[in-house]
Structure formats: structure tokens, C-alpha cells
Structure 1
Amino acid sequence: MASLNLGILAHVDAGKTSLTERLLYEAGVIDTVGSVDRGTTRTDTLALERRRGITIKAAVVSFPLGGTTVNLVDTPGHPDFIAEVERVLGVLDGAVLVVSAVEGVQPQTTVLMRTLRRLRIPTLVFVNKLDRSGADLDRTLAALADRLTPDVVPMTAARRQGTPQAAAVPYTPEDAAFTARLTEVLAGQDDGLLAAWAESGGAGLPYGRLRPALAAQTARAAVHPVYAGSAVTGAGVAALADGIARLLPGAYGDPGAPLSGTVFAVRRGAAGERVAYVRVGAGTLRVRDRPPLHRDGAAAGKGRVTALSVFADGTDTPAASVPAGRIARVWGLGEVRIGDTVGALDPAAAPSRHFAPPTLETVVAARRTADRAALHTALGRLAEQDPLIGLRRDEDRGEIAVSLYGEVQKEVIQATLAGEYGVDVVFEPTTTLHIERVTGSGAAVEFNKKDGNPFLATVGLRVDPAPPGSGVAFRREVELGSLPHAFFAAVEETVHATLAQGLYGWQVADCTVTVTHSGYSARQSHAHAVFDKSMSSTSGDFRNLTPLVLAAALRQAGTRVHEPVHRFRLDLPADALGAVLPALAKLRALPRGPGAAGPGRHVLEGAIPAAAVHALERQLPTLTSGEGVLETAFGHYAPVTGTIPVRRRTGPDPGDRREYLTALRRRLGSVPHRTAAGGA
């Protein structure tokens, strides 16, 4: 049987979870439709989700649709939880993007559709809430075509919209306006259809020719059929289900191929054990298997599968094996992490960043000193489930900094720590996360047993700038055999760790670090004695020396601090323009010329520093008499002008040799200058 891993995505409150409930009901999996308001939905299982009425963690539920098993993944809509959506995208065969017929295209709608199109994920659109006052399908369709993509095809018409009796009526092949619109959109993507359309004199082509073309172009993510209805009343949901079955391609996979699966979520079971959510892309995963794990393209050990469950008929049930195409919950993989590959490494499935990184940070502390250790453990578990939310620990001050997407996420973390771990916490004010970029090239080297080097290691590094967005690359200009592999690995890991704090304390992004020199003291011992680490190099020598060398290279290269900048779109009354423009200037925003947005309204688009977004949100109701609508999304990083922000460092500063070595002596007991014979 084919399977379809289907994502439900939307801006917050557009009705994703309600649509999930309605699809389960239509499929006969549940007898009654759950309510988000009453906290009775199948996918919002966390107490906090039910209390707040929002989705925080992606959840999987399955139902049959024709001859296909649909694994439906309900994802968060609030932008503060975009990391959950990030992980789901890599395992989807198709998606339904939910848009409210009342609010229309919202900020997160734009971000999600742009990403779905870039990843070529086949996507249907469902315009929800036709039964709500203010619903306007035509206005929403125009916004979809204008702000998302012109390649949308309305599949249903609305009747009595804005009332509880709202209905969605599917277009039929006999509807000439429908086939004409369908022909126009499909011909724009198919030269054969375009030629046939021209030969017909612009008349609509026969539906028998258009229907397979619609399925093919939807599968290629070239066009996007649009359905409409109400998840609450059920209007239009049957037509959407039919579209899912006919237009979104299922995945078969090869159950006899070598095993390869992707971990897109990690949760904790009732006993605190790790449970991995794995989409099996090829092969078959079985209980008692010992599949290898791969992380970031490298081997990451093995696990032993102790139990499996698969999603079917609205729940998950124990299974002895899981074939290709299905999603499974897997026990026994030990230290498995999100993004790991289970089984054979598939280079084409390497994880990639689809959304912007967090741009905010806050320091969290236990309200009671006695809870400090419990807080460390609890935050470690939260970060394990959400790797895009980084933790920075300062052992000297006993502080932990958490990176965030927004203030709502802070509230959720606070409630989760209190409710699930019994730890009451306080937060420092949220600050903006900057980055550093290398401005030139710099090099440094420390030689084994020379010039006061207290470590039995030779390390030379060169730092060069790289294009924005390229990340950190680690390269070698020395022969691979010049060091044992463990020593090279120690240098590489330490380089990445050291770049977490640049010259001004911020993460150093987009650079190339090249090993230019290497050397070590070979394994030695006194006569008739065992291995003596005071005479021989260890990985610790390379881990301790690398920060000193890299800091010196960074000083020579120089870095510049950059701040996150958001794109913004501001829809406002025309008479508010005179008040808004000076306010934008004070916030260092750079608007482009205003454009008309309808009678008496203007649209401003441009860029604004992320640190100023909250101030603009606070001022906007007053400046526009409550009629301004602001949308923002991360755009890029730009050099900071004026006072350079400095982030307080955690741990010793390798840029200060005396401080760094003194701290190591305190931690290790001593850092002797060793002068054993031998070496390279």
C-alpha cells in the first residue's frame, strides 16, 4: 500500500488542528470532532497546548484514504515554533497550506509557501473559515495570487460565505470559466498545452486532457489547487480529501533496499527514555535491528531497536517491522538526535536550514538555588527535542542563556519547566543575537615544545572570509597522515566550539578555517614501563591548544559585528503615512516608496533592524489609529553601525593567553610545559 506523509501548515489560528480533526472524522477514524477551544483534539496532546489552544510540538496521526495510508503531521503555526516545522519538511511527500478566509494571507503564510515552493513540495491550499463573519474567498484568492504565487487554481466556489450555512461547491468539467482558468494556468507550465490552447483560439481545453496535467503539475509543485470550506462545519473537507487522494503523490519506497531513515523528532517516553520519530525512506526497520546512525555526514555509533510502533487509524500501534514510506516511533536508539540518519547514509538527504536561525537570547535562572542542577537537566532535555534552540552555559556565573524566536516561546519554556519538571524560573530581558563575520585573512601557529607552548601539539590555522550563508568550512593543507585521525577530529570539533564566541563574544559565521601546520609527540613510555601521557600527545593537547591558535588568527583577520534585519510589509491608512514615516526613520528602518493598497490605503515595504520590531509593534496602534497591519520576517544580517555590541563571554577567553592558561590550570590542576623527545 502506498503511503503519503502529509504536512498541515499555516499561520497560527488559521485552523490547522481543526482541519486535522475533520479529516480524521471524514475518514471514519474518530466518532466525534475534537475542539481546540475545549482541548479535546487528537494531535494537541501536551497540557500546555490544550490550555493555550495552540500547537507547540508537531504531532503525527494516520488515516486511510482510498488505497493510501496518510501519515498526517500537524505542525505549529506560531512563528516562535518554526523549528518544529523545520524538521518536518524533510520527511514530507506533500502539504496542505491552510489560509483563513477572514484574515487572508498572513506573515507566516508567506514564509511557509515560499519555503514549500523552494523545496518543490507538492502543496494544496485550503481556504478555511468560510463560515466566519468577514470571510471573502475572492479576496483571499486574489491575495494568494498576488503575494504567494500566480499559479493557483480555485477548485471550489463559495456559497453563503460569512454565515454558519456556508458551503463549498466543487467546480465541474462543464463549467467553462473553470476549465478556461485551469487551461491558462496549466499552459503556462506546459508547452504542449500552450500550443493546443493557441490552436483552440483561446478556448478551454477538454477536461479529459487537463485533469492528468493538473495531477502531474501539482506533483511537481508547479501549480497549487485551492480548495475552500470550513473545518468546523465540515464544508468543503470532502472535496479537499478527494484532492489529496487524486493530486498528491504517495510514496512507495523499496522495502528490500538497504535501510535508510530520517529522525525528525525526539520525545521522552513515560519512563524518561528517548523515543525517535523516524520516516523510513528505504528498506525495512525491524525490532532487534542494530542500525548504524549517521550525523552531519559522519558515523555516530549504533543503536539497538527494542520496540517499534507505526501510525494507523488515528493512533500508533506496536509493530515488528516498518517498511519504506512509513513513519515509526522507535525505542532503543540511545543517544539518537534530531536530523540523524538511521541506516545507510543518503548524501541527498543531508539536513539543511530552511528557515532563519533564532535572533533573540535570554538568560534563564532557577528562582530557587536548590533547583539549579534540575534546571540544567531540564533545559538539556528541551534542547535535545529542539536543537535549533541553543544553550550557552556559563559555569563560572552559573547561568544558562537560551536562544529564542520570540517572547511566546519564552512563556512556553517557563510553563514547561514548571509543569513538567517542577522548576520555577526567571528570565533576564531578551536581547538581540548578533553574529560576527571575518573581514580579512589571518593565520597563527604554535609549535610543539617551542616558544612557551605548554601542550605537546603543533597546530597552525588560517581563517578566511566566506560568502554570507555558506557557514563554517574546515579544511586541511597538511597531509591526512600527518596526525592521527583522533587529533584531527579534536582540532575540528574545537574550531567549531571556539567560533561560538568571536572577538566580541558573538558566533562567528561564514568563514573557512584551514589547518596549515600539524605535529605531535608519538606514543612513548619510559624503559619497561606503560604509556606515559606526559611524554606523548593526547587529544586533550589539541583541544586545549586550538583555541589559542584560532583566537590569534581571528585577531589578525579581524571581525565585524552584524545585526539581524527583518523584511517588513506595512498596510496602513493613507492619512497615517505622515506619522509613520518619521517613526520608521527613528527606528532605523529603510522603507521603499509607498504603493497603493486599495482606496485610502498604502503599503510600505522595506527593512528594519530586528531589535526595533517590537518597538514598532507597540507604536503602530497609536500611529495608525489601530488600522495598521504589520508583517515581518527575517531577511539578512547587516553590519552594525555606531556602538559595537559586546556579548559577555562564557568560560576563559583564549584571546587572553594568561587568563586562558590560568583557567586551564585551575581546571586541570596543572598545564606543564612538557619537553619529551620525539615528535613531528
Structure 2
Amino acid sequence: MRTTSRTLNLGILAHVDAGKTSLTERLLYAAGVIDEIGSVEAGSTRTDSLELERRRGITIKTAVANFLLGNGGSAVSVNLVDTPGHPDFIAEVERVLGVLDGAVLVVSAVEGVQPQTRVLMRTLKRLGIPSLLFINKADRRGADDGRVLHEIERRLDVPVIPMGRIVDGIGTAEARAEAFAPEDSAFTQRLLDALTLHDDTLLGAYVTDARCVTYERLRAALAAQTRRGQIHPVYVGSAITGTGIPELIEGVREFLPTGCDDAEGPLSGRVFKVERRGSGEKVAYARMFSGELRVRERAPVAGREGKVTDLAVFDRGTAERRVSVRAGRIAMLRGLADVRIGDVIGREPDDRPYQHVFAPPSLETVVVPADPADKGALHLALTQLAEQDPLIGLRQDPEGRELSVSLYGEVQKEVLATTLAEEHGLAVTFRKTVPICVERVAGTGTAHEILGHDGNPFLASVGLRVEPGPPGGGVVFRREVELGSLPLGYMRAVEETVHVTLRQGLYGWQVPDCVVTMTHSGFCSIRSTAGEFRGLTPLVLMSALRRAGTVVHEPMHRFRLEFPQDAYAAVSPALARRRALTSPAAALGDTYVVEGHIPADEVHGLEAELPDLTGGEGVLETAFDHHRPATAPRSRERTDHNPLHREEYLLHAHRRV
């Protein structure tokens, strides 16, 4: 008889090479799921299942493994989600965050707090995801858990409490971690000081009678505050040797919350990963928040009706086929042919809205098949890859001459080329990576086309006014025409077409943050169709946009660069060459810290030359920050049959209508 257990959906997050996948292996081994610990270097780890991951020694795709902590009624079933650490694959991490109950953030005892560590910690804090920290690689030469703990306290800007230390052999295979004991008065005092910052009741009890604040009470308060994301216990050890792992496991079991999902409530879940198997079949990974999903029962999926033909639930180390999956679990679903990442199963989770927590890609490149005859096959392959990673942002011009994709960085480009070659048999090259710009409306412009006048070939009247909107406000559609002057279906056709058309402005870039107002409307009651309005709207909108004018803005990344003081003479002109806008260098010990902004397309070049400029000691942290007016003309080829060119557009529109 199977024992019912609570479920914890646990993310393992880290900067690349902090030992995240090795920690995953060690946890699975400690739980008895695997008999032998795999090696990242040897390509034998459980969660890095792709051949490309094994060969490169990095995690590219999210993977799920399951193990059980404890026995009987107190057992916790852990769905461990191993995520990529390289910033080029941050989209994989984003999709996972919305399904986690808690996380372990891994920090290297050698390299310490790295750029991605800070990005991830800020995100966990913003989303309120309870998390522990694990200082890994205590067995590595150069390890210093005390220094790294100080970095965590100084650079991560979250309350932490160390739960142990390395007592012997730091930097060697004999490194030994030891948990702080209840008898350690210095530890209990640190614990008390940290916890009373968020708990006035505890502080009052201590002031009234310190004896009533026992270690057990402190431990319970630590668990409560950790689950609320108010404090973060820090463990130390080595995933390779296993020291410190039992203490971390106990922390996971004791301090992180299991899912508060409602198995009896209405059906609610979300897809966070989609795979295509060799047969072409889609497999969706979904976290269920409420209710129960059964095989062969019809259920709404992203507003469409779907039917799961088969499912498997992660349990006791493997994915087991079941007839249903209940709230709290992660399952692999088959049969949903049109499923996409982010799709809601049933109704939207009340407290888990799907949101973008990281900036979208700021770069793009054109993908060119080595054999021109492979264009069709390349389009199909990229379409399938975009199902697994929607932020690939596949674009194709109307004549099918060029295919372009969005990127976070050059490593992602290399992985994409290898994937196309090995999984689809397609050899490709890439054009130069360029920034993804936007166009901002400069003024106000109006235009209209009246049915039966001025060469308007459409059986529709549309008038539009375009003007700037507040930053971050998106595209807002308003109406000045009287209600009832146009059938609702025609009005919706205009509004939807406005949003589609503004994906490409006067120079081919997306136009965000503007207000479009409908000023004129008219139709022929017998012959007009929604298609007539869809055909006319781009002409009117782009004419209004031309009169308003747009300014191309390029993406800018904020950066923080730390480097030895004697490298300043080399670093400063390099930043100037790459058009960086910097603040004065600030001294930090024997290093300088420079912060500022740099164009997105200059980041990779700076990263590449930084080791030579700084003797390998420079640390660069970057993230998208804002758009600024481009310093050089930037345009992009259109994919929309060019409503700026009336004759060309009408020739296509007449064929379509």
C-alpha cells in the first residue's frame, strides 16, 4: 500500500559552474534514488540527459527528478527541478519559478557570489519563494566559506543565518562540515538577533524572561520565517564528498514549505516545459495547483478543449504512469497536440499568475541554412524549437527569404546550431548578432480612409489617431466613435489588427507604449466583413504613425565591473570603445568597481576581452535595464507585406481578400 506524503517542488538554482547539478546528484544518491553518483565532467549525471548537455558540461534544459525524505506520515515527496545556470538560458529558469514551493541557491566556496547569483536571489526575493543557500565546493582549492558568507551578507542584501561551518581541511577532499549545536551560545545569540527583527512577540518574550525562549522555540521561529521568505539559512559543504549534505537535507525537510494545494478544488495547473520526442509527439510538463486531472477526461487547456491520452507522475525516483494526477504534483502529459509553455490547465491559479520576471532577449540573428534547399526544413525545426522555448521569437519575411531568432547571448547561438545539426540534420550559419530595438512614438498623428472615397478599395471606414503613451503602459486601444456605430466583431478586428501591426513600426521594430484611438468607422451592412477591416487597418495605422514619427531606441544593459586597481588603465579605454556610460570608479579594498550602462550588442565583446584586460580577475555583471535613442541608424527588414508601401500592400491584400 502506497503511503501518502506531502509534496515539495524544489528548485536548484545557481550561477553556472557553482556545482548545482553535482548537488542534485548527491541529493538523489543520499535519498537512495541512484546507486552511483554521476559526474558532470564524465557526462553521467541523471538530470543532464541531453547529449549536448553531457558534452558541454552545462545544464541547458530544465529536468525533474523525484525522491522521498523521511518515512510514514512525516514523509516529504520532493520533485527536484534542476535548472540551467548559464544566463543565456535564463528563460528556462523563469518558467520554473512559477511552479516552485521553495529553492536552494547554490554558491561556490571558491568563486563566491557571482553575477547570476545576485540576479537569482533578487528574483526569489521579489517572488517570495522561500529559499536556503548552500555554499558548495568546500573541497576545492581556494575555498573559503567565511569569505563567501561575508560576500553573501554584503552583496545579496537578504537576511541570512549560517547553520554550520567547515571545521577541518578547507580546500581539500578531507574538508569536514559541522552544524552549529544548540549549546553554541554564539550561534543561538545570532539566531535570536536575526529572528527578533521580524518577530516582536519573540522579542517581547525574550525581554520578559529569556529562559522561556528555548532553542526549540528559536528553531520553530526559524522555520516559520524561512517559509515566509524573511530569512535564509545558509549551509556549507561539498556535493562531491558529501560533507554538509545531511544538514542541508534536514534543512530542506524542516524549513521549506510543502505545497498548500487543494486536491478537492477546481482543476488548475500550468505547463512549464514542452518536449518533442523522436516520434514528433509533444510531452508537456505541468504542475497541478488544484483539483485532479484524469486520463481521457476532457479539460480546458489555454481556453481550448484538450484530452490527455496518457500521463506519468514523478514519484519515488521515476516517472510512473498513472490514471490521474492530483494537486501538488508534477506530471508529464501526452495527447495535447497544441500545448505551449505557459498554458493554463483548467482555470488560472489564483496566487500564481504567469509573469515574466526576467527581461526578454535583447539580441537577434538571422539563421542561414548551408543548403538553400533546407529553408523549409529549417523553418519547421525552428518552429518546433520555439514551442520548447517561446522566447526564440522566430521571424520570417513574407517571401520566406530569411529566418531570424531572438537570443540572450552567443552561447545560446552555439547550442542552437548544434541542436539543429544533431537533432534535425541541418547545418546552419548565423549572421552578425544585432540588438533588438524598439520604436517610440514621437508625436501625434492621424489618418483615415472612408468607404468609397479616395481610392479606398476596402468595404470599410477606419480612422485612427496615434500618440505616445506612458513608459511600460503597453499599447492602449480607445474609441471615440459612438457605441453601436460598428458591429462588435468589426471593432474587435480593428483592435486586434492594431496590436499585430505595431509589432513593426516605421523602421521594422516593435512600437510599445502608445495610445491608438479609433476616430472614424463605417461599413456596408450587406457586403462588409471583418476581413475588410483587418485589411484596411494597417494602411491607416501606418499612415498615422508616419505623421506622428518614431524614434528607434536600442537596448541598454546596466553593468557592474569589479577588477584589480592596476588594470584600470586598460579597462577604462575598453569601456569607452564599447560606448559604455560609466560612473566614477570606486575603490573596494584592492579592487575598483565601475557601474554604468552599455549597449546590449557590446556586452559579449567586453566579456571576451575582459580576461586579457584584467589578468583573468575581472568580474562582470550585466542585465537589461532600458532602451535609449540609438546612436546610429538601425532598421529591420519587414515581415508584414509593408503597409508603408501602398501599392505593394494592396497587391497582397487583394490576393488575400
Is the TM-score greater than 0.5?
Answer: yes
Instruction: Write the distance in 1 (CA, Å) between the matches of 2:583 and 2:550.
Output: 30
Instruction: Write the distance in 2 (CA, Å) between the matches of 1:26 and 1:373.
Output: 48
One-letter amino acid of the counterpart of residue 268, structure 1: R
Shift of 1:627: 3.0
Instruction: Write the distance in 2 (CA, Å) between the matches of 1:521 and 1:323.
Output: 53
* Aligned match for 1:31, one of 28, 35, 41: 35
* Corresponding residue number in structure 2 for 1:568: 559
Residue 538 (structure 1) aligned with residue 529 (structure 2): yes
* Corresponding residue number in structure 1 for 2:140: 132
* SS of residue matched to 2:471: coil
Instruction: Write the distance in 1 (CA, Å) between the matches of 2:443 and 2:184.
Output: 64
Shift of 1:223: 0.9
* Corresponding residue number in structure 1 for 2:155: 147
Distance 1:506 1:208, change over 3 A: same
* Corresponding residue number in structure 2 for 1:209: 217
Distance 1:474 1:61, change over 3 A: farther
Residue 62 (structure 1) aligned with residue 66 (structure 2): yes
* Corresponding residue number in structure 2 for 1:678: none
1:607-661 CA-to-partner distances (Å, cap 9, x unmatched) read: 22222223323443343333322222222222223x3312222342212222321
Q: How many residues align?
A: 648
Identical pairs, percent: 60
Q: Which has the larger displacement, 612-621 or 74-83?
A: 612-621
* Corresponding residue number in structure 2 for 1:645: 634
* SS of residue matched to 1:280: strand
Q: Which has the larger displacement, 607-616 or 335-344?
A: 607-616
Q: Contact 1:107–1:632 at 8 Å: present in 2 too?
A: yes
* Aligned match for 1:42, one of 39, 42, 46: 46
Q: Which has the larger displacement, 612-621 or 157-166?
A: 612-621
Instruction: Write the distance in 1 (CA, Å) between the matches of 2:301 and 2:355.
Output: 18
* Aligned match for 2:192, one of 157, 160, 183: 183
One-letter amino acid of the counterpart of residue 277, structure 1: Y
One-letter amino acid of the counterpart of residue 280, structure 1: M
* SS of residue matched to 2:298: coil
One-letter amino acid of the counterpart of residue 540, structure 1: G
Instruction: Write the distance in 1 (CA, Å) between the matches of 2:491 and 2:419.
Output: 40
Shift of 1:204: 12
One-letter amino acid of the counterpart of residue 61, structure 2: K
1:293-337 CA-to-partner distances (Å, cap 9, x unmatched) read: 22xxxx3x1111111110012221111011111111111222111
Q: Contact 1:2–1:252 at 8 Å: present in 2 too?
A: no
Residue 495 (structure 1) aligned with residue 498 (structure 2): yes
Shift of 1:93: 0.8
* Aligned match for 1:304, one of 307, 315, 340: 307
Q: Which has the larger displacement, 136-145 or 61-70?
A: 61-70
1:73-99 CA-to-partner distances (Å, cap 9, x unmatched) read: 111111111111111111111111111
Q: Contact 1:360–1:403 at 8 Å: present in 2 too?
A: yes
1:622-633 matches, within 5 Å, as 622-633=612-623
Shift of 1:482: 4.9
Instruction: Write the distance in 1 (CA, Å) between the matches of 2:320 and 2:89.
Output: 28
* SS of residue matched to 1:44: coil
* Corresponding residue number in structure 2 for 1:163: 172
Gaps of 5+ in 1: 525-535, 672-680
Instruction: Write the distance in 2 (CA, Å) between the matches of 1:604 and 1:197.
Output: 44
Shift of 1:484: 4.6
* Aligned match for 2:587, one of 596, 601, 604: 596
Instruction: Write the distance in 2 (CA, Å) between the matches of 1:182 and 1:475.
Output: 56
* SS of residue matched to 1:303: strand
Q: Contact 1:396–1:651 at 8 Å: present in 2 too?
A: no
Q: Contact 1:3–1:252 at 8 Å: present in 2 too?
A: no
Residue 226 (structure 1) aligned with residue 234 (structure 2): yes
* Corresponding residue number in structure 1 for 2:414: 411
* SS of residue matched to 1:633: strand
1:248-287 matches, within 5 Å, as 248-287=256-295
Distance 1:198 1:515, change over 3 A: farther
Instruction: Write the distance in 1 (CA, Å) between the matches of 2:406 and 2:609.
Output: 26
* Corresponding residue number in structure 2 for 1:362: 365
Instruction: Write the distance in 2 (CA, Å) between the matches of 1:405 and 1:346.
Output: 29
One-letter amino acid of the counterpart of residue 222, structure 1: Q
* SS of residue matched to 2:420: helix
1:473-492 matches, within 5 Å, as 473-478=476-481, 482-492=485-495
Distance 1:306 1:626, change over 3 A: closer
One-letter amino acid of the counterpart of residue 559, structure 1: T
TM-score, normalised with respect to structure 2: 0.94
* Corresponding residue number in structure 2 for 1:75: 83
Instruction: Write the distance in 1 (CA, Å) between the matches of 2:163 and 2:231.
Output: 12
Q: Which has the larger displacement, 133-142 or 343-352?
A: 343-352
Gaps of 5+ in 2: none
One-letter amino acid of the counterpart of residue 594, structure 1: A
Shift of 1:152: 0.8
Q: Contact 2:555–2:627 at 8 Å: present in 1 too?
A: yes
Residue 100 (structure 1) aligned with residue 89 (structure 2): no
* SS of residue matched to 1:508: coil
Instruction: Write the distance in 1 (CA, Å) between the matches of 2:187 and 2:137.
Output: 23
* SS of residue matched to 1:507: coil
Residue 377 (structure 1) aligned with residue 386 (structure 2): no
Q: Contact 2:289–2:349 at 8 Å: present in 1 too?
A: no
Shift of 1:166: 1.0
* Corresponding residue number in structure 2 for 1:504: 507
* SS of residue matched to 1:388: helix
* SS of residue matched to 2:572: helix
Residue 337 (structure 1) aligned with residue 345 (structure 2): no
One-letter amino acid of the counterpart of residue 171, structure 1: F
Q: Contact 1:179–1:205 at 8 Å: present in 2 too?
A: no
* Aligned match for 2:321, one of 293, 318, 326: 318
1:487-506 CA-to-partner distances (Å, cap 9, x unmatched) read: 34433332222122111111
* Corresponding residue number in structure 2 for 1:529: none
Distance 1:239 1:480, change over 3 A: farther
* SS of residue matched to 1:30: coil
Distance 1:200 1:335, change over 3 A: same
Instruction: Write the distance in 2 (CA, Å) between the matches of 1:308 and 1:489.
Output: 38
Instruction: Write the distance in 1 (CA, Å) between the matches of 2:430 and 2:502.
Output: 26
* Corresponding residue number in structure 1 for 2:10: 6
Q: Which has the larger displacement, 616-625 or 242-251?
A: 616-625
Shift of 1:130: 0.5
Q: Which has the larger displacement, 20-29 or 477-486?
A: 477-486
Instruction: Write the distance in 2 (CA, Å) between the matches of 1:211 and 1:659.
Output: 72
Distance 1:479 1:105, change over 3 A: farther
Shift of 1:368: 0.9
RMSD, aligned α-carbons: 2.1
Shift of 1:449: 3.0
Instruction: Write the distance in 1 (CA, Å) between the matches of 2:269 and 2:292.
Output: 9
* Corresponding residue number in structure 2 for 1:551: 542
* Corresponding residue number in structure 1 for 2:25: 21
* Aligned match for 2:568, one of 572, 577, 590: 577
Distance 1:375 1:250, change over 3 A: same
Shift of 1:347: 5.6
1:116-141 CA-to-partner distances (Å, cap 9, x unmatched) read: 10000001111110100001111111
Distance 1:413 1:183, change over 3 A: same
Q: Contact 2:410–2:604 at 8 Å: present in 1 too?
A: no
1:535-574 CA-to-partner distances (Å, cap 9, x unmatched) read: x223322221121122122223322211111121221222
Q: Which has the larger displacement, 237-246 or 512-521?
A: 512-521
Q: Contact 1:180–1:205 at 8 Å: present in 2 too?
A: no
Q: Contact 2:235–2:244 at 8 Å: present in 1 too?
A: yes
Instruction: Write the distance in 1 (CA, Å) between the matches of 2:400 and 2:267.
Output: 46
* SS of residue matched to 1:291: strand
* Corresponding residue number in structure 2 for 1:527: none
Instruction: Write the distance in 1 (CA, Å) between the matches of 2:519 and 2:579.
Output: 43
Q: Contact 1:564–1:637 at 8 Å: present in 2 too?
A: yes
1:160-208 CA-to-partner distances (Å, cap 9, x unmatched) read: 210001121111111111112112222222223344556679x995322
One-letter amino acid of the counterpart of residue 653, structure 2: L
Residue 448 (structure 1) aligned with residue 451 (structure 2): yes
